[in-house]
Amino acid sequence: MTTFRSFATSAGTVAYAEWLPGGPARATVLLVHGGGVGPDGWSRAIGGRPGWAPRLAEAGYRAVVMTWPGLSAGGAWDPDTRLDGAAVAGAIVELIAALGVPVVLVVHSMSAAFGYRVAFHHRDSLIALVALAPAPPGDIQPEPAVLEEDADHIVVQGRPLTWRLPRRGWWHPGSEFIETKLVGASEQFPPGHLDELRSQLVPIPAGLLLERQNVRGAQVHIGDRELDGLPTLVMVGTHDTDHPIESDRATADWLAERGGDVRFVALTAANVAGNGHMLMQESNSDAVLNLVTEWLGPNV
């Protein structure tokens, strides 16, 4: 059983766990979960297979999995949690400092926006950045159409979902989120395992989800900062319903324009075709990770 430890940051307490290699570590890899998914998605893949964290340790890396501040390893939120993207990014930086070495930062989906802020504001904390099915930065993300709103909720048109977002508290992932966004058109998600995926999910603080949907321009912006040659991998599955290839390619281009040494990968090779949103969970998760570690080799 994975043992998580607590670490206090200025934004709230994070939970983190480590997987260590048998010898000296090639590098430390810090894995940050996306919105609604929680930390379990890094430790075990659907079907009971080892997840990316233990696989990275087998490959010679020190793997560290963290929660967002205020979220326990078991998926419970501190009721006093008040977060924005800058605060989550700040907590990531504080944990990196405590780990004692620069890291390879791996971010998925919604957490990519936090990763950009770390990369641009704290470049020396990172060896490399890996962005999987990444949220775009607010600098290039369009604002969604607001369909209706009242004092408690705001309804916006996303792609492909229509989102009814609370203004306060937490948003809870439902069946439409799981079946349309997380699985969608994937050909690599194992059939019959939706309940296993559902068991890993956690609520999302309302303010962070309003940011992620860029309601009235709320998403994390970077501005004119530069990446100074940071090795950056942007990876997307070709069957990700919520992430058309050209959308994520635009994010990769934006990172390159700001000085990143960027490689963009749409998963189309024979053993990694048909992936959806949950690249670290699907039936070919080991093959996807192999592509990541092959890219990491010369960059660490």
pTM: 0.97
- CA geometry: angle at 237 spanning 269 and 292, to 5°? 70
153 CA to centre of own chain: 25
CATH number of 5-299: 3.40.50.1820
**What percent of the chain is predicted at pLDDT more than 70?**
99
Instruction: Output the pLDDT for position 1.
Output: 67
Structure-token pair, residue 210: 């309003």
Domain ranges of the chain: 5-299
**What percent of the chain is predicted at pLDDT more than 90?**
92
Interval 50-54 mean pLDDT: 98
Side chain identity at 146, as an amino acid letter? V
The C-alpha atoms of residue 214 and residue 136 are separated, in whole angstroms, by 10
Beta bridge partners of 66: 16, 32
Identify whether the C-beta of residue 136 lies closer than 8 Å to the C-beta of residue 238.
Answer: no
Instruction: Output the pLDDT for position 147.
Output: 97
Instruction: Output the pLDDT for position 270.
Output: 67
Query: In which residue are the tokens 């916006």 written?
Result: 156
Tens of pLDDT, residue by residue over 116-137, are 999 999 999 999 999 999 999 9
Counting beta carbons within 10 angstroms of the beta carbon of residue 280, is it exposed (0 to 12), middle (13 to 18) or buried (19 or more)? buried
Interval 167-182 mean pLDDT: 94
Instruction: Please determine, for residue 224, whether its predicted confidence score (pLDDT) is greater than 80.
Output: yes
Interval 68-73 mean pLDDT: 96
Interval 98-116 mean pLDDT: 98
Side chain identity at 286, as an amino acid letter? D
Instruction: Please determine, for residue 191, whether its predicted confidence score (pLDDT) is greater than 90.
Output: no
Interval 28-32 mean pLDDT: 98
Instruction: Output the pLDDT for position 123.
Output: 96
Interval 67-85 mean pLDDT: 94
Instruction: Please determine, for residue 28, whether its predicted confidence score (pLDDT) is greater than 90.
Output: yes
Interval 188-200 mean pLDDT: 93
The C-alpha atoms of residue 132 and residue 110 are separated, in whole angstroms, by 10
Counting beta carbons within 10 angstroms of the beta carbon of residue 136, is it exposed (0 to 12), middle (13 to 18) or buried (19 or more)? buried
Strands 12-19 and 5-9: antiparallel
Average pLDDT, the chain: 95
